[in-house]
Chain A
Amino acid sequence: RAEGMAGAGAALLGGLLARLALVLYGLHQDRAMRVRYTDVDYRVFTDAARLVTEGRSPYRRATYRYTPLLAWLLTPNVFLAEAFGKLLFVAGDLAAAVVAYRALRRRGAAAGRACGCCAAAWLLNPLPMAVSSRGNAEALVALLVLATLYWVQAGSVGKAAVCYGLAVHMKIYPLTYALPIALHLRSRPGRGEGAMDAGGDKTAKFTFMARLWHLFVKMLNRDVLLFGTVAGSVLAALTVAFYHLYGWEFLEHAYLYHLTRRDIRHNFSPYFYMLYLTAESKWSFALGLAAFLPQLLLLLVVSIAFYRDLAFNCFLHTTIFVTFNKVCTSQYFVWYLCLLPLVMPSIKMSWRRGVLLLFLWFIGQGLWLAPAYFLEFNGYNTFLFIWLAGLLFLLINSLIIVQIISHYQTEAQVAKKLKQW
Chain B
Amino acid sequence: QAVLTPDVIDVEAPEYLARDLLLLLFLEPDARCSRCFRAAVPVHARYHRPAEGTEEAVVVLQSPEVLLCCCHSHLSAECWEPAEVDTPCPSDNTSPCQWHSTTHRPAYEESMLRVPVGLREHSSLVCALTLLTTGLCSGLILAAACKYGHFS
Contact = CB atoms under 8 A, between A and B. Distances in A.
A291 interface: yes
A381 B116 contact: yes
Contact of A398 (B123, B126, B140, B152): B140
Contacts of B122: 273, 277, 384
A297 B11 CA distance: 34
Contacts of A391: 129-130, 133
B19 interface: no
A288 to B, nearest CB: 12
A280, A294, A308, A399: residue with the most chain B Cβ atoms closer than 10 Å = A294
B121 to A, nearest CB: 10
A379 B137 contact: no
Contacts, number: 128
B138 A277 contact: no
A245 interface: no
B109 interface: no
Interface in A273-292: 273-274, 276-281, 283, 287, 290-291
Contacts of A251: none
B116 A405 contact: no
Interface stretch (B80-88, B94-102, B142-150): B142-150
Contact of B134 (A265, A324, A379): A324
A315 to B, nearest CB: 13
A61 to B, nearest CB: 10
Interface residues of B, number: 44
A155 B134 CA distance: 38
A402 B144 contact: yes
Contacts of B140: 398-399, 402
B130 A395 contact: no
A391 B49 CA distance: 22
Interface in A348-391: 375, 379-384, 387, 391
Nearest to A40: B11
Contacts of A298: 138, 141-142, 145
Contact of A294 (B115, B135, B147): B135
B55 interface: yes
Nearest to A266: B47
B127 interface: yes
B53 to A, nearest CB: 13
Contacts of B56: 381
A394 B134 contact: yes
A375 B114 CA distance: 12
Q: Is the interface of A mostly helix, strand, loop or mixed?
A: helix
B141 A401 contact: yes
B141 A264 contact: no
Interface in B4-36: 8-12, 14, 16
B150 A305 contact: yes
A336 interface: no
Interface residues of A, number: 54
A406 B144 contact: yes
Given A63-B11, A297-B142, A383-B116, A274 B149 contact: no
Contacts of A33: none
Contacts of B123: 277-278, 281
A203 B144 contact: no
Contacts of A380: 116
Contacts of B16: 280
Contacts of A399: 140
B151 interface: yes
Residue from A63, A264, A305, A410 whose CB has the most chain B CB atoms within 10 Å: A305
A381 B117 contact: yes
Contacts of B90: none
Contact of B11 (A62, A208, A402, A406): A62
A381 B56 CA distance: 8
Nearest to A307: B150
Contacts of B45: 379
B131 A290 contact: yes
A193 interface: no
Contact of B137 (A277, A305, A398): A398
B151 A394 contact: no
A290 to B, nearest CB: 6
Contacts of B144: 401-402, 405-406
Nearest to A383: B118
Contact of B141 (A265, A278, A320): A320
B15 to A, nearest CB: 11
A220 B9 CA distance: 47
Instruction: Return the 5 tightest CB-CB contacts between A and B, nearest first.
Output: A305-B149, A381-B116, A398-B137, A294-B138, A405-B144
20 contacts: A62-B10, A196-B152, A203-B152, A271-B130, A278-B123, A280-B49, A283-B127, A291-B134, A297-B142, A305-B145, A305-B148, A305-B151, A320-B141, A375-B116, A379-B115, A382-B116, A383-B117, A387-B130, A391-B130, A395-B133
Given A274-B126, A277-B119, A281-B123, 11 more contacts: A196-B152, A270-B133, A277-B50, A277-B118, A277-B120, A297-B142, A306-B145, A379-B115, A381-B56, A394-B133, A405-B148
